[in-house]
Structure 1
């Protein structure tokens, strides 16, 4: 391969954008890239690779169980297309072997290796068809971490990619720190050379655009290197990378990881990389469950995915891995659709759609709930009863039901005596059994 990039004796660190002594800047050029959503978009997972580095190490049994969960969640839809593993320890390899034995089509098992030809032996021995390869592309990494010139880095990366192709392995090239890289001076030439290798070998070569520090910006009209639309558009139109070979891997340092991942889909990349509950380096990766909801909004469906399994996976992470999920985490937190405001509770009681944007009971298996406190009022108590006891339309308790009054009186007295915490579910349940005992006679009652 001929190096055709813009070589330089000094690194381009984009100090006008990343002054270091100040918060990074967003520069605008008002250039608008066209939105082009691919017909087929999907999610990949790195819970066992990038994600596992941020929590306590998983056992083989835990890895296999979570892999089963991912398969159940995907449910044959192919939306969760792949998941990647380390191969370096005996435990990693044993877990991969047990997962391969499952024979699942989705998620497909892939691996991750260093830019080292010796590592391909591991991939080939395991019978894995695709592997990720680290290809740092910003001058921060090339000059200061690798101590190379751009030309040396380019030649090294291409030789590793050639070795993968010679072994019949699909290389997934991880363009580390792409949001601080010289896009036309290094990223485009590297991607073009990789596409040439792909064409010559007749084997796909994939590009994972890694937003290593979460610096990507989704807004239209932003200058490179931070513009997500320009990066995805540029890979497609200046480097001839097909949509199906473009993947985004983001971090949440600037609260933009979900938006940046969705932006990748909007501007022509087919794949976004995620972890369950966003676990990962520093502030974490893109949450897999968030991108399922983004997929549903963009595509209008989730095919035949089993979204109710998400709550079960969350419970497993908390109980088995001791990973605490903040209660108000969207879609998976124990209180993500719990309201505390009395006026909101009254709205839920009248019509759940007023304060719940979709049927979370039907889709996620988690009904809208109410936390009872000094501000909840009678409507809040009624709404809590209906939700907690899972009462259907014909059985629901109305806020005008006089049986609620003694419950309300008990709660008021608690706060008059200085209580500041919410009324616990167990306390409310005992009150309901005391003042509305016939609720136990209903065969349909199913406490959530």
Structure 2
């Protein structure tokens, strides 16, 4: 069965870099951008050009090296921002300007002090101005997650008329439930005139831990682009995690979606971004965490040794991990111990294993994890005592 492509819009270098303490220099951004291009992302949001001279230079430099992906620059809905982005993107093979304004009652009242009509006018004017310079214009309705659906639909209609090719529907505060966000996307598909001329995009934040679930709900209801970051980094609790949404689509073929992401590069990309930004990936992070394919429970270890799929729904090699890890702790069983002994060159009988296991537990009760050096020590002591008995 043919599947529909979901575009992957990576904002690691823009939204991801907004994390406090995670500033990247231009050289680091170029390395990451180049690897993202190889990874197969469709759009690289390279930065916010008007925010600083450094960001402008980075967007300009990235535009010159990216050969496959669209290069995108963020702006607010004003002329100066857009003109700056145009200059930064002028060398890009496929440039995109990403402009927008808040559409929730909260933003209209407290951030902009504008009426609904003023917001609509500013949105349409910004898109029309950007369209003078580039064919590909994405509009973001900031805080769409808390925006009234009927008003949001009006804004979307007007920016499509003005030339928007992509409509970004951000859950800026991570407030929505998946069902609620999915219904919002579906409402726009059903009520926006001209929606067939634009791509709906999900940009979800993780304040309630729902960014990935909301993005999947979005594509199930008609969105065809997901905005995400490597490792889920981003403002506050972060953004939708690229590796999570990509692997969800790959592991659930009944969704009938695919991406162009080379998933075997995901772990490598995770480490590159983590090392460059100084942001440690939590060990239990889905897909790319150090424990994602590690097993320490005896029951789980026995199952995985017999058949990997007993406790793993993803082949580690699909995401660039060589193999599952059998971690020896006081919770490990005999099969795991025999497996690890075999890996370091010792085949043991059942009787030998029974005695070795007792010695192993003694070490495991004193340490968090028993490593290969410990195993060699256990085996040497065991063999010495066996030889002494023989004499």
Normalised by the shorter chain, which TM-score bucket? 0.7 to 0.9
- Residue of structure 1 equivalent to 2:107: 141
Once the 2 structures are TM-superposed, how far is the Cα of residue 346 of structure 1 from its aligned partner?
A: 1.4
Determine the structure 1 residue equivalent to 2:237: 283
**Over aligned residues, Cα RMSD in angstroms?**
2.8
Q: 1: distance between equivalents of 2:216 and 2:347? A: 42
* Alpha-carbon shift at residue 68 of structure 1 (Å): 2.0
**Cα deviation 1:256-307 (Å, max 9, x = unaligned):** 1111101111111100100110001111100011111022134578677432
In the alignment, what sits opposite 1:93?
56
> Normalization by structure 2: what TM-score?
0.86
8 A Cα contact 1:229 1:263, kept in partner: yes
2:187 to 234, 258, 271: 234
Alignment partner of 1:145: what SS?
helix
Task: State the match for 1:377 in structure 2.
Answer: 333
Aligned 8 A contact 2:9 2:227 in 1: yes
Q: Is 1:411 paired with 2:376?
A: no
In the alignment, what sits opposite 2:6?
Answer: 41
1:46 Cα deviation from its structure 2 partner? 0.6
Range with greater deviation from structure 2 (282-291 or 309-318): 309-318
Tell me if structure 1 keeps the 8 A contact 2:97–2:136: yes
Alignment partner of 1:163 is 2:129: yes
Structure 1 portions without partners, runs of 5+: 1-36, 75-79, 199-203, 220-226, 390-394, 437-448
Is the CA contact (8 Å cut-off) linking 1:181 and 1:187 kept in structure 2? yes
Contact 1:378–1:399 (CA under 8 A) maintained in structure 2: no
Contact 1:49-1:86 at 8 Å conserved across structures: yes
1:246 aligned to which of 180, 200, 224: 200
Please give the alpha-carbon distance, in whole angstroms, between the structure 2 residues aligned to 1:433 and 1:329.
Answer: 37
Would you tell me which structure has more helix in proportion to its own residues?
2
1:114 pairs with 2:76 = yes
Kept after mapping to 1: 8 A contact 2:268/2:320: no
Q: Which segments of structure 1 move beyond 6 Å, counting only runs of 4 or more?
A: 432-436
Aligned length: 372
Match for residue 65 of structure 2 among 102, 109, 122: 102
Change (3 A) 1:217 1:319: closer
Answer yes or no: is the 8 Å Cα contact 1:361–1:368 preserved in 2. no
Distance 1:44 1:336, change over 3 A: same
1:71 and 1:406, CA in 2 relative to 1: closer, same or farther beyond 3 A? farther
Question: How far apart, CA to CA, are the structure 2 residues paired with 1:287 and 1:420?
Answer: 34
- Per the normalisation by structure 1, the TM-score is 0.76
The answer to whether the aligner puts 1:82 opposite 2:47 as a matched pair is no
Asked whether 1:53 is paired with 2:18, we answer yes
Deviation at 1:312, TM superposition (A): 1.8
Q: Is the 8 A contact 2:265 2:319 kept in 1?
A: no
| In 2: Cα distance, 1:152 partner to 1:433 partner | 79
What aligned pairs does 1:59-74 form with structure 2 within 5 A after superposition?
Answer: 59-74=25-40
From 278, 281, 303, the counterpart of 1:322:
278
